[in-house]
Every structure is written in C-alpha cells, then in structure tokens.
Amino acid sequence: MRSPIPDYLAEALESVEADNSGETADYIPELAAANPERLAVALCTEDGRLYSQGGVDVAFSIQSISKPFVYALALADRGFDEVMEKVSVEPSGDPFNEISFEEGTGRPLNPMVNAGAITTHTLAGPRDATPPERASRIIDGLSAFAGRRLQIDENVYESEISTAYRNRALANMLRANGMIDDEPLDAVTGYTRQCALLVTVEDLALMAATLANGGVNPVTEVPVVPARVVRQVLSVMATCGMYDGSGHWMTEVGVPAKSGVAGGLIGALPGQAGIATFSPRLDSHGNSVRGVDLFRRFTTDMGMHLMEVPPPGPSVVRGRRLVGDGDNAVQVVSLQGGIRFSGAERVLRELEDDPLTQKSVAISLMRVATVGPVARRMLLEAVRRLTLDGHDVYLIDPDGVLHDPDPGDGGRVTVVSSYDDLADLRKAEP
Ligand code: DON
C-alpha cells in the first residue's frame, strides 16, 4: 500500500495555493526579492520518517526560526539560572522587533523577540567563547538539530546587516542594561549570521522533530539538548513563538511554533512530529500567511491541538483472571495501553474499590506499552501496599516496562516474563 500522507500534504498545499495575500519581508532587500509563489511542506515523525511535498529543495534563510534552537543551546551551555537572569519568558504582546524591556530589570521579555534572541545568541557556548567560537557553536548546534551541515547565505547576511539599525539599537540597549557583555556590533553581527543560515522545509521539519523527540535527532539519533531544555523551549514557543499573534495561534492551532521572515514556519508536537512549511508572503505579525493557514488546517485534520488529548478511558485495567488452581492460584490484574497519572489512578481505585481476594496476586504488564515516571511510582506503591496487606505479589513484565521495580520499604515483588513462568514458579515454591 502507498501511504496516503504524501497525498494529503499535496492536497493541503493545493488548498492554500490561490491565496496571494501578504507581502515578502521588505526590510531585508534579499528577502523582498524572493519568489513569493514558493510553497512547500514537510512532516517528520518523532521516529524520523520524513514526508514532504512542494518545493522541498528550495533553500531559504532560517531567520527567527533559529531563535528557539539557539535558546536551547544557551540553556544547555549556561544553565537555566544564567539564561533566566538575562532573558525572561513572558509573552510581550509586541511585534518581534519592538524596543521593549522588562520594567525594573531591563531584561528582554522573552527569547523569541529580537531583543531576547540577540541576548541568547551571546549566551550560546562557554562563558569565555569569542564571537567566532560562539558562531561555530551555533552552526554546529543547529546542524545537529537538522542532521546535516548548514551553511550561511552571505548575500542574505550582507543584505540584512546593511540595514540592521533597529537590531543595533536593541544591542546597544542590551549592553547599557547589562544584559550582554559583547560589543553590541559583535552581538548583532553574530545574530544576523545565525538568521542567515540556509535551510529547506525538510531540515526544519527534522529540527522540529528533534524538539518533539525530547532533544534527540530522530534520524541521526544524536542527543542534541537535554529533555528538560526541550520542555522550556517548547513552552516558550507555545506562549511567545508567534509574537503578538501568539494568543490567537495557541487557541486556534495549539502547537508550539516559530516563524521566520523568510517565510518558514515550524510546529513541534511533543512526542509526535515536527512540521515545517515555507511560503514567503507574510502577515502583519511577520508570520507566513499560507503557513499559518496550513497549520490551521493540519490542527483540525490531524487533531494536533495540545489541549485536545484523548482521555485515558477506563480501559487501563483490562480485566482480572485466576491462573492456576488450589493453593497455586494467582489472581491476575491485567493492565493495558500507555499508563500515566490518570491511568495509574484507575488501577489504584480498582484495587481499593474491589480488593483482591487471593493471597497470591499478579499485575500483568504484558499489554502495557509505556509507564510514565509518576505512574511507575504509583504502581510500585500499589505493590508495596499489597505486600503490606499480606499478599505475595508478582509482576508479569516481559518487556521491563516497569524498570527497576523496587517497591520500597516493606514491599516485595517477584518479576516474571509470562503466565507459564508464573505457573512454574508457583509449582516450584514450597
Ligand atoms: O532580526 C530580524 O529582523 C530577522 N533577522 C529575523 C526576524 C524574523 O524572522 C521575525 N519572524 N518572523
């Protein structure tokens, strides 16, 4: 069978093709001259399968889509405290290039607006890095997100730096406020070069998929940044990634996202996929018009909104059965699916409302795909309490989904791989 996903993506592109509203970015001459008809989309799953349609080979400058990735590098390299001291995480409600700072501290409001991004640029790499060393760290880091070596478009860089008066003003203010230690011109130069890195939609989809996959590039399998950093970056993308359009974006589309003035747009759906679109005409917020439309469509068609999560359902507890007979009988509670807090709560509730009656009891995880960290603690506590209630407790866990099953003080559990192993063990027990 041929997967319908490429057809779906092609059809989605067709549905927005006729819309020629918006304008290419006019403040960077090289971008103003871009072919406004370009259109492409790519989707990369969290395990690295890439689907793409349209002008997938067209390279364009990453622009502000570099911001969340450089923020991630800064957090990974300098730690949360140092970065938070210099850049807050509050939505500004302002355009991307607004000259605004937090009252009282002089910090930029968030790392997605230019003031914040110029600051986080200076925080990538070690504290004593020179501007060229930092530039290398950023190219290496963004290349690791993309899974291939990225290059700077020198024409785009020259074109932007020659008119970057507003960003220079921001950098001077940042230096005056004590937020950057660099010479302001070095900071703007480095930031502008970072924005001039060339990418395709496929690169961007893979970069977004690396965020969706907890910081590990799903194709190269290289861990790029820690999962805790990814949580921070995705949260900031969700609240600030679309600038003064972020509230509408989050309510309507519901995916952490970032746009760039060359016409790129990414969305990272945690645990599922990274998506990227490219279409150069922009709306008044500097976001790609057709890109925003495509994402609106994807969120409906693919059920991507983060606030729409299917309930775990009552079915985490699949059923109970008695295995063996007489003194060897074991009462087995079978669980299924992926178990997080609310699923584990169902298990605890079931064990409380309808107590197990046999002395020997087992919890079968044979049909359980994943147990989240909180659910793991809850299930181990159930094991401990069952032991304290006088039961002999077994876990049937052939795939080790409940890793390191230590139930703690007073708890005892025997782990087996199958019903047969359980029966054999019971027979062998005195
Ligand atoms: O700093 C600038 O103005 C550009 N290099 C990047 C701005 C940008 O991409 C805004 N996003 N939509």
- The preferred substitution site among 23, 96, 119, 289 for testing ligand 1, maximizing ligand atoms within 8 Å of CB, is 96
Task: Name the pLDDT band for 134 (thresholds 50, 70, 90).
Answer: very high
Q: What is the DSSP letter of 72?
A: H
Atom of ligand 1 nearest to the CA of 282: 12
pLDDT (0 to 100) of residue 314: 58
Q: Using most ligand atoms within 8 A of CB, pick from 28, 31, 112, 261 the residue to mutate for ligand 1.
A: 261
User: What's CA 126's distance to the chain center, in Å?
Assistant: 24
Instruction: List phi, psi (to 5°) of 176.
Output: -65, -35
Given a contact cutoff of 8 angstroms between Cβ atoms, the answer to whether 117 and 124 are in contact is: no
Instruction: Give the C-alpha separation, 201 to 197, whole Å.
Output: 13
Which of 114, 192, 237, 242 for a ligand 1 pocket mutation test, highest count of atoms within 8 Å of Cβ? 114
Measured between alpha carbons, how far is 225 from 284 in angstroms, rounded to an integer? 33
Task: Specify the pLDDT at position 324.
Answer: 83
Which protein residues touch ligand 1 with a CB less than 6 Å away? 63-64, 96-97, 114, 160, 167, 195, 259-261, 286
Q: How confident is the model at residue 429 (pLDDT cuts 50, 70, 90)?
A: confident
Residue closest via CA to ligand 1's atom 4 equals 63
Average pLDDT, the chain: 94
- pLDDT tens, residue by residue, 7-28: 999 999 999 999 999 999 988 8
Q: Atom 12 (ligand 1): residue with closest C-alpha?
A: 260
pLDDT of the residue at 430? 65
Quote the pLDDT of residue 423.
Answer: 84
**Kind and range of the H or E run holding 318:** strand 317-323
Which of the four pLDDT bands, split at 50, 70 and 90, describes residue 334? very high
Residues marked active site are found at: 64, 67, 191, 243, 261
Per-residue pLDDT at 92 exceeds 80: yes
Nearest CA to ligand 1 atom 11: 260
pLDDT digits 0-9 by tens, 242-299: 988 999 999 999 999 999 999 999 999 999 999 999 999 999 888 999 999 999 999 9
pLDDT given for residue 309 in this prediction = 81
349 within 8 A of 316, measured Cβ to Cβ: no
Q: Look at residue 72 and tell me whether its pLDDT is greater than 70.
A: yes
Q: pLDDT digits over 350-388, tens only? A: 999 999 999 999 999 999 999 999 999 999 999 999 999
User: 259 CA distance to ligand 1 centroid (A)?
Assistant: 9
Domains of the chain listed by start with CATH number:
5-302 (3.40.710.10), 317-428 (3.30.750.24)
- Residue 94 binned pLDDT confidence (cut-offs 50, 70, 90): confident
What pLDDT shows up at residue 425? 83
What spacing in Å lies between the alpha carbon of 117 and ligand 1's midpoint? 10
In 3D space, the residue among 210, 310, 282, 294 whose CA is nearest the CA of residue 252 turns out to be 294
3-state secondary structure of 417: coil
Least confident of 40-54, 117-131, 199-213, 297-311: 297-311
Reduce the DSSP state of residue 259 to 3 states and report it. strand
pLDDT band per the 50, 70, 90 thresholds, residue 313:
low
